Structure 1
């Protein structure tokens, strides 16, 4: 998870993508572009044989086809889709600016021109080496354009339906639960969902190790300290009480919205 500070001084939590995922999406894009380029060359060959095009014109068309499919088309696709391509869409990633904003034509153009040199002239070795040693898995085009890839598609997390444990009910009702980071809350929810689904068949040693680690991170956002209990019960109490408070808050908002709706649609002087 990477923290990005926007121009409005707002901290965003954007998870960057690993070099392996980026390489797989790039490989899929290259297969598509090269397949389209080969088909275009076949069409040009058939057209040239029919129309008897000169060698100079055929060479110019061939060069334009290579530049078009390896530079122009990738730049156009990323610009129109705001940092997406077929490969990135398949792997659920998107290219954004370093401040978390959407990319524009100049970012995509720099990435496309640099990508042609670093990918094809070095056979993909330069992006691999730079991606391993940069903080967010950037390639040279990302460093020059000020961009990087984030994970735009996340797995759905089912809501935790476990109730607050009786031993911690009184504490949870009065505890001050701060804003738990989304990634940490998702990890705790996945753990409790596993406990809820697996029951007694879960590996207790692995469960205890993971729950202790998550509890040590969650406790920093909770005050006062919980009573003596297990880490699983502590996480269950925090997540269940967090869910209950959010439900009550949304219920109050809905009630206020319904009352306002009735007042606005009530006949005058009634």
Structure 2
């Protein structure tokens, strides 16, 4: 997961697409462009009859080159510009091309990527972008480096919410505890630990999970006031995260009720 801070100081979590995912999307697009190229050749051959047989070799070469440029340069640039970084292959694989700051790509980005992408992707048979993607932390190819873009995953698996209850002996403490100063990264690590405890917390892994819980509990205690009563590190982490979830749920419920009340007042005559 990569954190991007936009020009409006908004922190975005944009996971870069792997080389395998981008390679698969590129292969799908390549098959589509080749089929379009073959279709154009067959279409003109069908309607022109004997024209290709009597055509000057230079004219035929110019026509073939124009068809290649149309299918493998102009068409990808146009699709990427109009779809804001998507294509058929990327749509299937759940990938979008964005700027390094997380913004939407424009014509100039697609133009740079398309002009460099033709020799990079097609003339090198995919070897050059594969090599560049393997040595780059975000899987960038040469076109991405020149245009200042990279591919992100927009299709994320659904995460099942954790419904762990607050331990009974810590219920009264959570009602008065100040839990609003926990760093986001620490809260994310605790959530991952508890989720792993729910799914794989058995056997030999149990000792490792409890040792990790002790470390996270030591990092969490300075951010909690007042200190919790004596309990295990795992119960302490569960109590904090469950209470944070409950408070967030109550806050959203109050906000929803206020919004509903305001909507009813606005739609009631005489709007008073």
TM-score (ref. length: structure 1): 0.82
In 2, Cα distance between equivalents of 1:215 and 1:151 = 34
In the TM superposition, residue 107 of structure 1 has moved relative to its aligned partner by: 0.1
The aligned runs of 1:117-156 (5 Å cut-off) are 117-156=119-158
Between the two proteins, the alignment pairs up a number of residues equal to 263
In the TM superposition, residue 148 of structure 1 has moved relative to its aligned partner by: 0.7
Match of 1:228 among 222, 227, 231: 231
DSSP-derived class of the 1:149 partner: strand
In the TM superposition, residue 82 of structure 1 has moved relative to its aligned partner by: 0.6
In 2, Cα distance between equivalents of 1:6 and 1:234 = 36
Gaps of 5+ in 2: none
Match of 1:31 in 2: 31
In the TM superposition, residue 76 of structure 1 has moved relative to its aligned partner by: 0.9
CA contact (8 A) 1:215 1:235 kept: no
In the TM superposition, residue 171 of structure 1 has moved relative to its aligned partner by: 3.9
In the TM superposition, residue 140 of structure 1 has moved relative to its aligned partner by: 0.3
Match of 1:40 in 2: 40
In the TM superposition, residue 102 of structure 1 has moved relative to its aligned partner by: 0.4
In 2, Cα distance between equivalents of 1:24 and 1:215 = 42
DSSP-derived class of the 1:75 partner: helix
DSSP-derived class of the 2:150 partner: strand
In 2, Cα distance between equivalents of 1:86 and 1:189 = 38
Moved more, 54-63 or 117-126: 54-63
DSSP-derived class of the 2:247 partner: helix
CA contact (8 A) 1:84 1:94 kept: yes
DSSP-derived class of the 2:152 partner: strand
TM-score (ref. length: structure 2): 0.82
CA contact (8 A) 2:190 2:237 kept: no
The aligned runs of 1:1-270 (5 Å cut-off) are 1-49=1-49, 51=51, 54-55=55-56, 56-173=58-175, 174-177=177-180, 178=182, 180-181=184-185, 184=189, 187=192, 190-191=195-196, 194=199, 203-206=202-205, 209=208, 213=212, 216=215, 219-220=219-220, 222-224=223-225, 227-231=230-234, 233-265=235-267, 267=269
CA contact (8 A) 1:114 1:141 kept: yes
